[in-house]
């Protein structure tokens, strides 16, 4: 049993450390990979829910993330990477993310997230504090005329919409509980980005 738990944790750690463009690429190549992923995420979101095009157009900014999540027996976790784009200045902040969960299960999934920041304050707070989402927070992308909302940060609740996409389309609910987002120091070297 101890060996199973150790193997489970090793698999989760492999996912957490292996996410993101490989360091074998130059900094500019890694940023381009992330920028291309973000553009692809937006196009997939617009195809799945056409009203999001206007939502993003009127927003202060947006973020796009690529995530991988693995659940092996008693432990699970995931990791990913993304970029926040300030629409007023065009500045980009490259970020990482990780998540952890405990439970019983087996499986892996790859999904994408798009955050739409309705206010500059919400975007700056997300980038500045890393937005550690815990407790009971979740994000819902509603398929009707209303947009989604992200919970967990009080005043940010109605200032951010979060959408999750899989290969089959838009998820009705995207859980972001236990997820940490932070600035990628390697890709945001002074003078190169932002």
pLDDT for 44-74, tens place per residue? 999 999 999 999 999 999 999 998 765 555 5
Candidate from 35-49, 86-100, 130-144 with smallest mean pLDDT: 130-144
Q: What is the DSSP string of 141-174?
A: --SSSS--EE-SSGGGTTTEEEEEEETTEE-SEE
Q: Is 93 exposed, middle or buried (0-12, 13-18, 19+ CB in 10 A)?
A: buried
Residue 6: what pLDDT? Answer: 42
Owner of token pair 């195809």 = 47
Give 138-174 pLDDT, tens digit per residue.
443 433 333 333 333 334 567 899 898 887 666 655 5
- % of the chain surpassing 90 pLDDT: 35
What's the chain's average pLDDT? Answer: 72
The alpha carbon of residue 183 and the mean position of all alpha carbons in its chain are separated, in whole angstroms, by: 12
pLDDT band at 17 (very low <50, low <70, confident <90, very high): very low
> Does residue 77 or residue 192 have the better pLDDT?
77
Q: Which of 68, 136, 65 is nearest to 99 (CA)?
A: 68
């Amino acid at each position: 049993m101890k060996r199973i738990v150790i193997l489970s944790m090793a698999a989760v750690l492999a996912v957490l450390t292996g996410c993101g463009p490989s360091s074998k690429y130059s900094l500019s190549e890694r940023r381009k990979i992330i920028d291309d992923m973000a553009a692809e995420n937006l196009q997939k979101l617009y195809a799945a829910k056409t009203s999001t095009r206007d939502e993003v157009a009127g927003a202060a900014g947006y973020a796009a993330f690529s995530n991988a999540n693995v659940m092996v027996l008693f432990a699970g976790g995931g990791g990913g990477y993304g970029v926040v784009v300030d629409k007023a200045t065009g500045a980009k902040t490259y970020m990482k993310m990780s998540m952890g969960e405990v439970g019983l299960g087996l499986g892996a999934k790859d999904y994408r997230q798009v955050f739409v920041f309705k206010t500059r304050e919400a975007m700056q707070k997300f980038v500045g504090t890393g937005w550690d989402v815990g407790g009971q927070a979740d994000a819902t992308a509603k398929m009707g005329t209303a947009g989604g909302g992200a919970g967990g940060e009080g005043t940010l609740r109605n200032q951010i919409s979060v959408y999750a996409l899989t290969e089959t389309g838009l998820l009705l609910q995207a859980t972001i509980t236990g997820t940490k987002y932070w600035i990628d120091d390697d890709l945001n070297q002074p003078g190169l980005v932002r």
